[in-house]
Amino acid sequence: MRGMVMAALLTALPATALADDYKPVVCERAVAYAGPPLRAPVAPPLLTEVPRSALDPETVARLDAAFDKAKSATKAPAMTAAVLVPGRGAWARTESGDQPPMLFWASAGKTLTAVVVLQLVEAGKLRLDDPIGRYVAGVPNGDVVTLRDLLAHTGGLFSANEDLKAHAEHRAHTLDEDLRIIARHGAMACPGERWRYSNTGYDLLGRVIETVDGQPWRLAIEARILKPLGLTHSRVLAEGDKAEDVARLVSTREAPIEPAWAGAAGPMVGSADDMARVWAALLGGKLLTRDTVRAMFERLYPMFDAGSWYGLGVMAVEVPRPDGAKSLWLGHLGGTPGAQAIVAYSVEDGAIVAAALTGDGSAAATANLLLQQVRPPAGKP
């Protein structure tokens, strides 16, 4: 799936960046964007109805068959998937074998961290243009890198998980340790100049949440999102969490991380049904105002390869359809050796799909296959 392969690999893959690979920059102010052209803004839908009843039996049968096909093709030891079609119904399924039924959502969980930050902005407790240095000391160019930059990955910050020595240690790092790493590397660009993915940026946002909301960022996500929505098959990982209720990450490529190591850059574990309902609530205006949700998709930066863009804690991705056309998905992908995940609203299908799996298979391809099943069969209107 062109445009999605690199986007799925976001949480913990090492890069080859070293301190002497670039000349660190010191910036007195933000600069004009100098990267590839931005995408035109996307107007997200307003979902006024979230189905609770099941989809019709024929569609359920097709989805079940597609789930089985995807699980076999990906060789996933554990998989969870869900589809919500407003006006029609819902479907969800989890198969985890001898593993626990909770799955790791990796970077797809970044949206929840972003939502809490934006809720605090709406409450007047933060401003998107606040510099991160107001809340956390020791950030390169911290006086000019803003919370908006961190949400959009335009702060120019190195991502501490890409430090080869830190990556080789294969352990959790505290935010203070990550701050020392990014300070040693220095900034890679002035804020606003380039788009570059930084997990450390979202860990910094977690610290901002704690400072302003007066509770750990994990509890803030639970109190502000999971509990109000009545989601009981998901939770937020705490620092040092052994995640014994989470399906084990398995990879033939590289030793997997422990899910809790991802911090605020990948905080969620749970069912696809719960993750789909988080997005239904977001697009339905139940977590943020409509103006804020629109702003999340207003300035979309080109990501790793053609067909994928990043907003404020969200992605827009063009996905090829069997008929040769492209479908626009609004959501977020996540991935790390041993786990892949995606949650998205398909504009053309008018449906939300969520899928997470263990192993090295593609959650995005799985989601695409599932969405094909909610379209009218050939020959039917």
Euclidean distance between CA atoms 232 and 225, whole angstroms:
11
Count the domains in the chain.
1
User: What digits encode the pLDDT tens for the residues 330-339?
Assistant: 999 999 999 9
**Token couple for 154:** 């335009």
Give mean pLDDT, residues 172-199: 93
- Alpha carbon 207 to chain centroid, angstroms: 18
Pair 330, 347: CB distance under 8 Å: yes
Q: For residue 119, give the 3-state DSSP assignment.
A: helix
Between 52 and 293, whose confidence is greater? 293
Pair 128, 147: CB distance under 8 Å: yes
Between 217 and 379, whose confidence is greater? 217
The answer to whether residue 203 scores a pLDDT higher than 60 is yes
Residue 43 lies in a domain: no
Q: Which range of residues forms the domain containing residue 201?
A: 57-372
Residue 70 lies in a domain: yes
User: What digits encode the pLDDT tens for the residues 92-128?
Assistant: 999 999 999 999 999 999 999 999 999 999 999 999 9
SS3 helix, strand, coil % of the chain, rounded to 5?
A: 35, 20, 50
User: What digits encode the pLDDT tens for the residues 265-283?
Assistant: 999 999 999 999 999 999 9
Q: At what angle do helices 110-122 and 199-213 cross, to 10 degrees?
A: 40
Euclidean distance between CA atoms 112 and 244, whole angstroms:
22
Residue 173 lies in a domain: yes
Residue 2 lies in a domain: no
286-295 long-range contacts, CB within 8 A, separation 24+ = 286/228, 286/229, 287/115, 287/119, 287/224, 287/225, 288/115, 288/118, 288/119, 288/122, 289/122, 290/46, 292/118, 292/121, 292/122, 293/44, 294/41, 294/43, 294/44
Pair 215, 84: CB distance under 8 Å: no
**Among candidate residues 151, 196, 157, 110, the one with its CA nearest the CA of residue 292:** 151
User: What digits encode the pLDDT tens for the residues 225-238?
Assistant: 999 999 999 999 98
**Token couple for 229:** 């929505």
Residue 9 lies in a domain: no
**Token couple for 13:** 């893959």
Residue 380 lies in a domain: no
Give mean pLDDT, residues 240-263: 94
Alpha helix stretches (DSSP H) within the chain? 57-74, 110-122, 147-152, 164-169, 175-185, 199-213, 217-221, 272-283, 290-296, 363-373
The pLDDT of residue 215 is 97
Strands (E), the chain: 79-85, 89-95, 103-104, 234-236, 268-270, 301-302, 308-310, 315-320, 326-336, 339-346, 351-358
The pLDDT of residue 49 is 87
Give mean pLDDT, residues 280-300: 98
Residue 310 lies in a domain: yes
Q: What is the pTM for the complete model shown?
A: 0.93
**Token couple for 355:** 């899928």
CATH at 310: 3.40.710.10
The pLDDT of residue 381 is 52
Residue 25 lies in a domain: no
> Maximum distance among all alpha carbons in the chain?
62
Lowest mean pLDDT among 55-64, 293-302, 344-353, 369-378: 369-378
